[in-house]
Structure 1
C-alpha cells in the first residue's frame, strides 16, 4: 500500500502532470525540432506549436517562442536570474503554464511576470529563491494564477508573505513539500477557502493543531503530514477531511479521532499510520470512524494482533500491515484477529510471521472474513503448514480472487488451493522452492488471468501442467529465473514460449526471453537460442529405449550367470536326478545300496586315508568306493560320482587343506549335503585329517566342523593315537553315532 501513499501525496499535482505530460509526449518521440541556437537544436514542439519543451539543454536564457505557445518547460537549465530582458522573447499573451524548476535562479525582478496575463500554473521549485524576493515578483501581477509549486526551496518557515500577495488570485493548489518548515500557522490561508488538498510532507514539523487550522480550510479533504517529526496530533474541526497521512513520524499511538463516542473526522476514509513508533494498537482512538475504508499500520513496533482488533470498523475495506518485523514470531496472530465482514483486501506481507499450526489457531485466523477478495501472505513463514492446515486456513475465505504466497519458503504448491479457491484470478507464488507442478493442478482455475511462478526450482514444464483449456483464459504468465533443463522434456514449453512471444496472442510470457535460461554445463544459454526438434527427440527416445533394454538384458544375464555359478553343484545334482527320473521318493532301505561307504578325499591324501582307514575298513568286510580308484578310465566323472554316491549307504568326507582346494571334493561335499537334506536317511561321516588354514574353511566346511561331536579329528601321523577315533568311526558306520543333519539346513 506504500504506492497509494505516493499516489495521494502527489494527486494534487495532477494538473501540472497533464500539462507537462503533453509536452513530453509531443516532443519525444512524437514532437518535432522547432528552435535552434548556433545550429544546435534546443527545443522541441508539439504539432501545433502550442507546447514547447526546452528542458535540460544548459540554457541561461529563454529563446524566441512560437506565437501560439501556451506551455513552456524550461526546467533543468542554468537560468540564474529573471528580468524583463530575459522575457523579451515571450511576446504572446497565451502562455498558461511556465516551468522554471531545477535551475539556479536566485533573483526575480519585480514585474518579470507582468506580461503573462493568462498564466494559471507556475513552477519555481528547487531554486535558491528567498521568500521576500519571490513575494515581490508575484505582487499584483498574476490575477489568473491557480496553481503554484514551490518544492525543495529549503525554506525554514512557511511562505506566508507569498500567500498574502496571492490574495486576489484564483489560487486553489499550493505545493511546498521538500522544504524545512519548522512551524505551521493557522493564519496562512484566510482567503483560500476553496483549497481541497494540503501537502506539508518532508519537513520538520513536530506537532499539528487542527483547531487552529481546519476552521480556515473548511473544504480541506486531503492532508499529508508524512515524513515529519510529529509526535502530537489534534484533529479537531476536520469535518471535511477524507484523506489523512501521518506516515513516517514519531507517533506512539493512533491519532485520537473519537471524543465522547463522536467522530472528530466523520468523513475520513483513508488513514496512513505506517513507519511510526506504535507498539500497541489503541483501537478506541479510531473505532468511531464509520466511513474508514483504508487503514495502513505497516512498519511499526506492534508485537501481536489480538482477537477482534478491527471488528468495530464498520466500513473497513482495505487493511495493510507489512514490513512489521516485530510480528515475526510464533503465535503473534490470534484467533479472529481479522474478523470483519466488510474487509475486502488484506495485506500482511513481509512480516516474517511464523505460521505454526501447533501454536497458532490456523482455522480461525480469517474467521468471519468470508467477503475477503484479496489476500497477501508473502514474506512470511508458511513452510510448516501441511495440506490439512492449508484447507483450514482458506476455508473461511472462499471468495478470494487474489492470493500472494511468495517468498514463503514453500516446497510445494498446496493442493487445497485449487479445491477451495475456485474463483481465484491472480496467483503469486514467486521465490519459493517448489520443483514440480502436479498434473492438472491449474485446470481447476477457470477464471485465472495472472500466474506468477518465477524464482522457483522448476526444471521443466509440460502440457499436463499447463493444459490448453487453462491457457485460453490466462493473460499473464511468469516463469522467470527457474533452473530449466534444456532437454527433450522441455520441448513443449519451448514451443509455448515462442508462441506467446508473438504479438497476436492474448497471453504474455513475462520476462521472456531475457530471464529464461538453461542451467547446467559450463555456461548458461537463453531458451530462445536452444534448438530442440521433435524429430531429434523421437530418435533420442528410441535410442534411449534401445540402450535401456540392452543394459537391462546385460544386467539380467550377468545376474543369471552369477546365480548359476553360485549354485552350479545344486543344478548339476538336480539335472542328474531329472535325467534318472529320480525324486524325493528315493528309497532308503539297505537292499538298495550296492556299497557301504563312499569316500571323498583329495588325491594327495589318498595314500594316508587308504593306509590308515580304508584298508582296515575292508578288513571289516565293508565295501568302500573311492573315485580315484574305482571309476574306470574314459567314463564321465560327474555321472560316475553321483551314481556311486546314490549306491552308497554312507558318505565319508576326509577334510584337509588340499581337500578344500579340490573342486571335485567341493562338488562331492555339496552333493552329499543335498542328498542328506533331500532324502533324510543318508549318513555323513566327517574326518578332519589336519588343522585347516583359515582361508580354506569355507562356509560349507565351517558348518560341518562347527560342533566337535559331528566330526572325528584324525591324526594321520600316529597310528597309536587313533584308537579312540577308530572306535567312534565304527560306531558311526554301524549306526550308533550319527551326524546331526540339522546343522546342514
Structure 2
C-alpha cells in the first residue's frame, strides 16, 4: 500500500518536473524516487511526496548524489535516516516544504563531501537549527540556506561551527530578522555571500571593530528607512564588498558618506525605494562602481541634479520604469543628469516620459555619452526618433525604441552609425520601411531589426521588407515573434502573416502605372477645381473687367442734358431709409430729380446697362453706405463703376452718406480707398443732427445756376 501511495505522489511530482525546460525525470530503479536519466557523472534523486523515515538506496552508490526531499511529512532528521547513502557520495541536500521540528546532533556526521544544504519552509525551532548547524561542523560547506523559518534573531554562537569555512554562501531569506547583528556573522571570516532578502531588518547593529570579507550582500525587501551607515569615520565594515543589493526598502535619502568608502563596490542596486533626491556626484566616491540600478522609484523622486550619476568608472545605468516626465521644467529631473560618465556603455531609461522633449533637449541628454553602446528607450512616448542619437551616439551597437509611437523612418537616418547591430522597433506605429533606412551593418553577422507588432502595410510600398523577410526571417527576429508580423492593410490581406504574402516586383510595377494615371487625373481635376473656385471668387471683378473693355470700344461723346440730378446707389435693405428720409427732402422740398433703382431703371434692360446709363446721365452720385451695402456683390460692382466714373469726371460728383459704422471685415480695397479720399456725411438719430445733415447735403447736390455742362462718359 505504501509503495502505491508513494508511486502516485511521485507521478504527480513527475508531471510538474517534466515541464521544467529540457529536464525529464523518471522513476529510479528503487521505484520510490525520481531520477534524472542519462546522467553518467552523478545521481540526481528527488524523493518527494512520500512518508520516508529513511532515504532509499540510490541507483549507483559510487556516483556523487544530489538529493531533494520535498513535500514529505518528515518530522525528524537523524543520522540513521541516511544509512543507505555512502557518506562520501552526498554532495547536495535540499530539504524543504516538510514539517521537520528536530535535527539530531549527529544528523550529518561523517558527510565529508557535503557542499550544499537547504532547510526551507519547515517548522524547525532555533534550538533545532542550532543542532543542525552544529552537525555540519565537519562538512566542507560552500552553501547553506535557512529560509522561511520565521527566525527573529540568532544567538552570537549560532554560526560558530562554520567559522573555519572559506568562500561560504549563507542565505537567510524570508525570515523575521529585525536587526543586522554583526556579532552573529563576525566569526565567519570566510563568509563571501550573505543573502538577507525578505526579512524585517530596520537597522544594522555593528560594533566598531567589525569587518567582514563579504563580497555580495543582499538586503532587498527589508524595512530600512535610510541607507545604513557602512562607513563610520571613513572606515569600511565591508572592505571586500563588490555587490550590494538594497532594493525595495523604504529608503528616502542617500547620504553618500554612508557608502563612499566601499572602494571595491562594482554593483549597487537601489530599485524600488522611496528616494526623494539624487544630488550631484551622488555616487562619484565609489571608485570601482560599474553598474548602478535606480529603477521603480518614479512615484517619489522629486529632484535629480545635474551630474547626479557622475562617475569615471560607471559602465551601466538602469533608470527604467520610473515614469518620470523629462522636460525643461525646474521641477523635472535635469537633462544633464548623465553628465560626467565618460565610461558609460549601457543606459536603460525604459518607461519614462520623453514626449515633452524637443530636438535640442536630446542634445543636452546625449551630448557626453559618446562611448555608449546600448541605449534602451522603450515605452517613452517617443513619436519621432531623436536626431541626437545618430549625431552623438555613433558607437551604439544596440538601440531599443520598442513600445513607442514612432510611425515614420527617414531614409539613411542611421547611415552614420557603423557599429549598430541590433535595432528594436517593435510595438510602434510603423507601416512600411525602405532598405535605405537601415545601415548595411545591421544585417551583417548577428545583426537584426525587430519590427514585430507594428501595423505593417503589405502593399507594394513594403515590397523590399516582404521579400527580405521571406528570404531571411532571422534578420527580423521572426523566430522570437511567430505571430508578430501581420498585415494590417490592404483589406484583402488583413491579419495575413508576412511570410504568407504573395507579391512580386512585376505586379507592383503594373500597380505603379495605374497609380501614375490616377495621380495625373487627380492633379488635372484639382487644378480645374482651383480655377473654377478662383473664377467664382473674383466673378465681380471679372464682370467689371469685361464690361470696361466692352464700353471702352463703344466710347462716345455725350452732349445731352442730364436726365437726373442725383443717382442714388444703395442696398435693397436700405430702400426704406431712402424712401422715408432722402426722397421726401431732395425730391419733395428741393425739387430735385433722383434716380432710384426700384423706380427708374428701364424694365427689360440689363442691370449693368441701367447702372451705366443712369450714372452717366446724373449730375451727382450719392452712395448710401451701410454694412449691407459693403457685403453685397452687386453693390461692390456698382461702386467700382461709380469710382471709375468719378476718376474721369471729377471727385466733386460723389457724395457719400454713412448710415452706420462699417465692420472692418466688410471693408474692401475699393471701399477703403473711397473712405480715405472722400469726405462723407454721417446720419444721426437726433433731430438737430439730422437737420445739419440735410443742410450740408443740399449744398452738395443743389443745381448750378446754368446747367450746360457736357461730359465724356467712359466707364
TM-score (normalised: structure 2): 0.71
Aligned mates of 1:101, 1:218 — CA distance in 2:
31
- Are the equivalent residues in 2 in contact too, given 1:374–1:401 (CA < 8 A)? yes
What is the match of residue 525 of structure 2? 551
Aligned mates of 2:606, 2:177 — CA distance in 1:
114
Q: CA deviation at 1:555?
A: 0.5
Flag the 1:101–1:489 CA change in 2: closer, same or farther, 3 A: farther
Flag the 1:68–1:561 CA change in 2: closer, same or farther, 3 A: closer
Aligned mates of 2:250, 2:642 — CA distance in 1:
90
Aligned mates of 1:340, 1:261 — CA distance in 2:
20
Of 239, 254, 271, the residue aligned with 1:298 is 271
Flag the 1:679–1:121 CA change in 2: closer, same or farther, 3 A: same
**Per the alignment, in what secondary structure is the counterpart of residue 159 of structure 1?**
helix
What is the match of residue 465 of structure 1? 437
Of 244, 250, 255, the residue aligned with 1:271 is 244
Aligned mates of 2:266, 2:479 — CA distance in 1:
35
Matching of residues 252-401 of structure 1 within 5 Å: 252-325=225-298, 327-329=300-302, 332-359=303-330, 362=334, 364-401=336-373
Aligned mates of 1:478, 1:67 — CA distance in 2:
39
- Are the equivalent residues in 2 in contact too, given 1:479–1:516 (CA < 8 A)? no
Aligned mates of 2:133, 2:502 — CA distance in 1:
69
Q: CA deviation at 1:333?
A: 1.1
Q: Deviations over 1:428-475 (max 9, x none)?
A: 223333433344322222111222233333344334433546554772
Q: Deviations over 1:379-408 (max 9, x none)?
A: 333334332232223223222222223333
Aligned mates of 1:392, 1:93 — CA distance in 2:
67
Q: Deviations over 1:579-638 (max 9, x none)?
A: 67x8xxx9xxxxx4354458999xxxxxxxxxxx9xxxxxxxxxxxx9979x9xxxx999
Aligned mates of 2:380, 2:36 — CA distance in 1:
58
What is the match of residue 226 of structure 1? 197
Matching of residues 577-656 of structure 1 within 5 Å: 592-593=557-558, 595-596=560-561
What is the match of residue 542 of structure 1? 516
- Are the equivalent residues in 1 in contact too, given 2:544–2:637 (CA < 8 A)? no
Q: CA deviation at 1:139?
A: 4.8
Q: CA deviation at 1:486?
A: 5.3
Q: Deviations over 1:643-681 (max 9, x none)?
A: 9999x77689999xxxx9xxxx99996895375167446
- Are the equivalent residues in 2 in contact too, given 1:440–1:464 (CA < 8 A)? yes
- Are the equivalent residues in 1 in contact too, given 2:396–2:419 (CA < 8 A)? yes
**Per the alignment, in what secondary structure is the counterpart of residue 392 of structure 1?**
helix
Q: CA deviation at 1:418?
A: 1.6
Matching of residues 370-449 of structure 1 within 5 Å: 370-449=342-421
Matching of residues 26-425 of structure 1 within 5 Å: 53-54=25-26, 61-62=32-33, 71-75=42-46, 77-83=48-54, 86-87=56-57, 90=58, 92-106=60-74, 111-117=80-86, 118-132=88-102, 138-140=107-109, 142-157=111-126, 159-185=129-155, 186-191=157-162, 192-215=164-187, 217-233=188-204, 234=206, 237-325=210-298, 327-329=300-302, 332-359=303-330, 362=334, 364-425=336-397
Q: How many residues are paired up?
A: 622
Q: CA deviation at 1:228?
A: 0.8
More displaced 10-residue stretch of structure 1: 101-110 or 333-342: 101-110
**Per the alignment, in what secondary structure is the counterpart of residue 391 of structure 2?**
helix
Matching of residues 660-671 of structure 1 within 5 Å: none
What is the match of residue 29 of structure 1? none
Aligned mates of 2:704, 2:264 — CA distance in 1:
113
Flag the 1:466–1:516 CA change in 2: closer, same or farther, 3 A: farther
Aligned mates of 1:639, 1:256 — CA distance in 2:
99
What is the match of residue 536 of structure 2? 562
Aligned mates of 2:38, 2:516 — CA distance in 1:
78
Flag the 1:328–1:729 CA change in 2: closer, same or farther, 3 A: same
What is the match of residue 734 of structure 1? 707
What is the match of residue 673 of structure 1? 642
Q: CA deviation at 1:494?
A: 3.6
Q: Deviations over 1:480-516 (max 9, x none)?
A: 4434455554444444443441x4x597686354265
Aligned mates of 1:639, 1:382 — CA distance in 2:
66
Matching of residues 648-727 of structure 1 within 5 Å: 673=642, 676=645, 679-680=648-649
- Stretches of structure 2 lacking an aligned partner (at least 5 in a row): 1-6, 569-586, 588-599, 624-628, 656-667, 684-696
Cα RMSD between the aligned structures?
5.3
Flag the 1:199–1:685 CA change in 2: closer, same or farther, 3 A: closer
Flag the 1:412–1:649 CA change in 2: closer, same or farther, 3 A: same
Q: CA deviation at 1:110?
A: 5.9
Aligned mates of 2:193, 2:402 — CA distance in 1:
36
Q: CA deviation at 1:268?
A: 1.1
Flag the 1:114–1:413 CA change in 2: closer, same or farther, 3 A: same
**Per the alignment, in what secondary structure is the counterpart of residue 191 of structure 2?**
coil
TM-score (normalised: structure 1): 0.68
Q: Deviations over 1:15-48 (max 9, x none)?
A: xxxxxxxxxxxxxxxxxxxxx99xx9999999xx
Q: Deviations over 1:557-585 (max 9, x none)?
A: 532653575445324324425767x8xxx
- Are the equivalent residues in 2 in contact too, given 1:375–1:404 (CA < 8 A)? yes
